[in-house]
Amino acid sequence: MSQAFSATAIRRAVLSMAHAGATVHIACAFSLVEILAVLYRHHLRYPDNDPNGPLRDYLVLSKGHGVMAQYACLREKGWIAQEALDRYFGDGTPLKGLSDAHVPGCEVTAGSLGHGLPVGVGMALAARLAGTGQMCYAIVGDGEMNEGSMWEALLFAAHRRLDNLVVIVDENGFQAMGRTADVMGLGSLRAKFAAFGFEAVDVDGHDEAALDAALSAVRANRDGRPKALVARTVKGKGVSFMEDDNRWHYTRLNPDTYAAAMAELEQA
């Protein structure tokens, strides 16, 4: 397997950014890592490696608070400098704690949940009308699926037969203040997507081979249905004391936890 976009390297970069910026949202970035690694390694098309190319595929990070994992990938693409990661969240840095459309490779300004997916649906529609063949991949959180704007966007996508849209749900079972099942039970997201007219599949969100196969299959099936991958993930995946512990949504690293987390990743 290609070593580009290594999951371990992405997690190490996230830890370094969070430590440098004394900031939060580590665990919700970790659950996205394999999803982003597979997308950037095998599926997203950027002619001439241009993040603003008119025929590029779109990656909409509607779950904008997971952006540190995307920044690590953008650094590997060569679109942002290592210095920017080193100064993450510092005065004057272009890299903020939420997805910002001013950063090359970030298609939307996201963070107010429920906004990114509707924008992505518009991008998919524009590409369909222009006949460009561009794909739009929208990554959303399972907690974000509480928002009514998400379901309105899904209805519109199915109505317009946007089979160039792939919605990927990072189903880590948590949102900011608790488990999604306790805050607002969503039931089977796969079944709900299917009821809304999507081709919908479940996948292990940390199994890179399974993600690759599922993304390849839905992209190839241009049957008029928009696509949904419900990716089962673990919040904080990769560092044992963060896994499935929602305190790491808002907890900051100190020198000891930073060293311990980095040591675990050294052994991965």
Angle made by CA atoms 30, 36, 120, in degrees to the nearest 5:
115
Tell me the per-residue pLDDT of 208-253, one tens digit each, with 9 for 90 and over.
999 999 999 999 999 999 999 999 999 999 999 999 999 999 999 9
What average pLDDT does the structure give for the chain?
97
In this predicted structure, what is the pLDDT of residue 268? 80
**What average pLDDT score do residues 2-28 get?**
94
In this predicted structure, what is the pLDDT of residue 213? 98
In this predicted structure, what is the pLDDT of residue 258? 98
In this predicted structure, what is the pLDDT of residue 3? 63
Angle made by CA atoms 126, 128, 134, in degrees to the nearest 5:
90
**What average pLDDT score do residues 30-34 get?**
98
In this predicted structure, what is the pLDDT of residue 101? 97
On whether the CB atoms of residues 140 and 116 are closer than 8 A, the answer is: yes
Tell me the per-residue pLDDT of 252-267, one tens digit each, with 9 for 90 and over.
999 999 999 999 999 8
Tell me the per-residue pLDDT of 86-124, one tens digit each, with 9 for 90 and over.
999 999 899 999 999 999 999 999 989 999 999 999 999
pTM reported for the whole predicted model: 0.97
In this predicted structure, what is the pLDDT of residue 165? 98
Secondary structure (H, E, C), the chain: CCCCCCHHHHHHHHHHHHHHHCCCCHHHHHCCHHHHHHHHHHHCCCHHHCCCCCCCCEEEECCHHHHHHHHHHHHHHCCCCHHHHHCCCCCCCCCCCCCCCCCCCCCCCCCCCCCHHHHHHHHHHHHHHHCCCCCEEEEEECHHHHCHHHHHHHHHHHHCCCCCEEEEEEECCEECCEEHHHHCCCCCHHHHHHHCCCEEEEEECCCHHHHHHHHHHHHHCCCCCCEEEEEECCCCCCCCCCCCCHHHHCCCCCHHHHHHHHHHHHCC
CA atoms within 13 Å, Cβ hemisphere of 107? 27
For residue 12 the two structure tokens come to 């190490």
| pLDDT over 50 at 70, yes or no | yes
- The CATH homologous superfamily for domain 7-266 is Thiamin diphosphate (ThDP)-binding fold, Pyr/PP domains (3.40.50.970)
| pLDDT over 50 at 181, yes or no | yes
For residue 88, give Cα distances in angstroms to 34, 112, 227, 250, 259: 22, 21, 34, 17, 18
On whether the CB atoms of residues 80 and 72 are closer than 8 A, the answer is: no
> How far does Cα 120 stand from its chain's mean position?
13
| pLDDT over 60 at 1, yes or no | no
**What average pLDDT score do residues 157-165 get?**
98
On whether the CB atoms of residues 126 and 91 are closer than 8 A, the answer is: no
In this predicted structure, what is the pLDDT of residue 4? 86
